[in-house]
Amino acid sequence: MRILAKVKLPEVIDLFSGCGGLALGIQQAGFSITHGIEIMESAVKTANMNLSIKKGLPPLHICGDITQMDEHIFNDKIGKNGCVIIGGPPCQAYSLIGRGKLNSLVKNEYSYLDDKRGYLFEDYLRFVIGTGARAAVMENVRQCVSFGKINVPEYVADVLEKHGYTVYWTILNSADYGVPQIRERMILFAAKGNLEPIMPRPVYSGLLYNNLYAGVGLKEFQKYPHFIMPLKRRRKRPAWITVGEAIGDLPELQTAVAKSYQSYPVMMGLPYSTEPQNDYQQRMRENTDEYVTGNSYRNTPRDFPIFARMKEGDNFVSASAIADRLFESECQNRHISPESPEGKMLRKKIVPPYSRDKFLEKWKKLDRNKPSHTLVAHLFFDTYSHIHPWEPRGISVREAARLQSFPDDFVFPCSMGDAFKQIGNSVPPLMAQGIGKVLRKLLEEQEKKYGFTK
């Protein structure tokens, strides 16, 4: 067998790139991102700023609708070592939250099947096959296994297998790779040739939490031909990173309810509150000085007093009870009846109007001693799902980025809402780096076994 001194890695084409979380992790694993496509203009700006412009390179990501693009668009630009395709087609048609929103709009439980975004995996396949990619990685929510009668990763695997690829998929939890967040995602690997599957090895362990927060129901996927169970966590691995460990050194923004709200532009820097307190914070701050951007958070004055009284881990049930007590107390202080016109007006100023039957998890206060629950794109609309554990407010853009493992030098040159949306839609870079390491090993085995000629 030929021994390789060093494998010359193929370049990477980044589809459905978002702001570049998957690409950043793949880049950190040693790959070069040379092209990318994303339909959201502000996300393209963020990806280009961080992945190429800051490195002295021209913008590498283009803004456009992939369904209208020829799959050979990059072929004459691909170097002699070939290319790898990475990407996560939009998940809204697959996720339970996205389906629920569509169903509520059209009153049809199968309306998600009419969402054209659900079929964008076909365009992903067009590009993998059309570029003759040496390997590919696809990411999505675990619910993508049941898009109507389509199991998306199995469908993709079947197609690529017919084109000479070894293909397999699994479910990974980002917390196992140093991300302070419980986030399970389907990850599909494909590489040309007949190769043995290689799986990412967990770097951290959730055994401290008795695995209550992840990995439920994975055995049901074993009935699918291309599914491989993730590797087991080892007890000697460090424990999952917690919220407190992740954000404890970031700037204090609102230490008390009485403190006036301040609107910080997303790109404005503020000093850290402390020196790095642990390895995670040190890693996030590796390329920054004493200032950090992304300190924007939402001004929700009605809710700040409720946030302050919630306990860590509380949801909307507790928040509603707190709001009721605040309302009753204020009525007594003003000597008015809750049912009077004045009382009804006061209630609107104090009590959130959301349904107490449907929005139990709409509000959630983070627990500093546990990893965060999954960040979602709905942060674009509000941050009730991720309330700061010790300050009476929603999390800031930078705190969301930390929970997603974006380093502090990764900036968001956009509005606060767009920044939250980009972060919520992202693949955590630290998990992506683990994926990138597996991709390297697959390519090494591919070159040892077959060599490579474009």
Give the tens place of pLDDT for each residue, 54-65. 999 999 999 999
Residue 132's nearest CA partner among 89, 62, 81 is: 81
Q: Which of 116-120, 212-216, 300-304, 432-436 is predicted with the least confidence, judged by mean pLDDT?
A: 212-216
**pLDDT score recorded for residue 211:** 53
Angle of helix 316-334 relative to helix 341-350, nearest 10 degrees? Answer: 140
Q: Which of 19, 83, 91, 331 is catalytic?
A: 91
Cα(242)–Cα(175) distance, integer angstroms: 9
**pLDDT score recorded for residue 176:** 94
**pLDDT score recorded for residue 95:** 55
Confidence of residue 254 (pLDDT cuts 50, 70, 90): very high
Question: Does position 108 have pLDDT exceeding 50, yes or no?
Answer: no
Confidence of residue 149 (pLDDT cuts 50, 70, 90): confident
Q: To which residue do tokens 């509380």 refer?
A: 314
Question: Does position 11 have pLDDT exceeding 70, yes or no?
Answer: yes
pTM, two decimals, is: 0.92
Domain boundaries, the chain: 11-240+428-450, 243-424
pLDDT for 438-451, tens place per residue? Answer: 999 999 999 999 98
Mean of the pLDDT values across residues 318-346? 96
Catalytic, 91? Answer yes
**pLDDT score recorded for residue 43:** 98
Query: What CATH code is assigned to 11-240+428-450?
Result: 3.40.50.150
Question: Does position 393 have pLDDT exceeding 80, yes or no?
Answer: yes
Half-sphere exposure of 18 (CA within 13 A, CB side): 26
Query: What CATH code is assigned to 243-424?
Result: 3.90.120
Mean of the pLDDT values across residues 398-409? 98
